[in-house]
Structure 1
Amino acid sequence: MSIDTETPTTDTDADRLARELGDAITSLPEYQAYLDAKSEVESDREAQERIEEFEQVREEYLVARQTNQAEDSDKQALTDAKRRLHALPVMKTYLRKQAALENRLQELDDLISQPLAVDFGEQAGSCCQD
């Protein structure tokens, strides 16, 4: 099965509505709150240090797993780094706002999917489903 990736030469109602939906999503309070929380995390020095620490420990753990050298202590170090990161108030806020946005987007996905024979969000991001 071939997927046509060419841009349509004429806008359909669905194309126009999709763009309008994207614009409308950017004005949702949940989206704005998420962006604000993301900005706070990006400008918080301690959060950035903990993110770097977590990413480094995660990378080390993944390499150890790929080479069959991962130990329980490696997994525990990753869990501890994640816990330290998520314990920061700015990260707690960010994760709450992210979850609220994801929930709102799921609600919109449900509304879009109602008249369709498929789950719009699930099918839109997948390929070759049985």
Structure 2
Amino acid sequence: MSAQTDQLEDLGRDLGEAIAGTPEYEAFEEAKAAVEADEAIQSRIAEFHALRDQYLQARQAGGGSQELLGEVRSAQEELHAMPKMAEYLDAQEALQDRLESVNEAISEPLAVDFGGEAGGCCQD
């Protein structure tokens, strides 16, 4: 590895550590831990996933009623209305906003969307 590559990797690690120290990341981690530790939320998540999977399977088979879709949406709304889950979703959105700002700062001198395109090829 060249010295420049080592320096870039060091800068990447420093950036990761700086992001991990932001209030947005810390709030996200706290909210995530609260959601993961809450049995009622975990149960609702499992119920939502089961309903969603049932609906997706029905759609693949040419079905998927509006009634079942309504049940999926209702389950998601109930899940998102739970206070700890709402806090988690808000923290996730705040972190995504912060990371988008970082992405823009990195992308600007590169003239490429670093977070969106730099890793892939043949993007339209």
Taking structure 1 as reference, are residues 46 and 67 closer, same or farther at Cα in structure 2, changes over 3 Å only?
same
Instruction: Determine if the alignment matches structure 1 residue 106 to structure 2 residue 94.
Output: no
Given residue 39 of structure 1, which amino acid in structure 2 is its aligned partner? A
Given residue 14 of structure 1, which amino acid in structure 2 is its aligned partner? L
In structure 1, the residue matched to 2:55 is 61
In structure 2, the residue matched to 1:20 is 14
Given residue 101 of structure 2, which amino acid in structure 1 is its aligned partner? E
User: Of 68, 74, 80, which aligns to 2:68?
Assistant: 74
Distance in 2 between the 1:125 and 1:47 partners? Answer: 35
Between the aligned residues of both structures, percent identity stands at 45
Instruction: Determine if the alignment matches structure 1 residue 45 to structure 2 residue 39.
Output: yes
Distance in 1 between the 2:58 and 2:9 partners? Answer: 46
Offset of residue 125 of structure 1:
4.7
Q: Which runs of 5+ in 1 are unaligned?
A: 1-8
Offset of residue 70 of structure 1:
0.8
TM-score (norm 2): 0.92
Which portions of structure 1, spanning 4 or more consecutive aligned residues, are displaced by more than 2 angstroms? 124-127
* CA-to-aligned-CA distance 1:23-56 (integer Å, 9 cap, x gap): 1111111101000000000111111111011010
In structure 1, the residue matched to 2:26 is 32
Offset of residue 18 of structure 1:
1.0
In structure 2, the residue matched to 1:94 is 88
TM-score (norm 1): 0.88
Q: Which runs of 5+ in 2 are unaligned?
A: none
Comparing 113-122 with 34-43, which one deviates more in the overlay?
A: 113-122
Distance in 1 between the 2:120 and 2:80 partners? Answer: 30
Given residue 73 of structure 1, which amino acid in structure 2 is its aligned partner? E
Distance in 2 between the 1:98 and 1:26 partners? Answer: 13
Distance in 1 between the 2:62 and 2:120 partners? Answer: 30
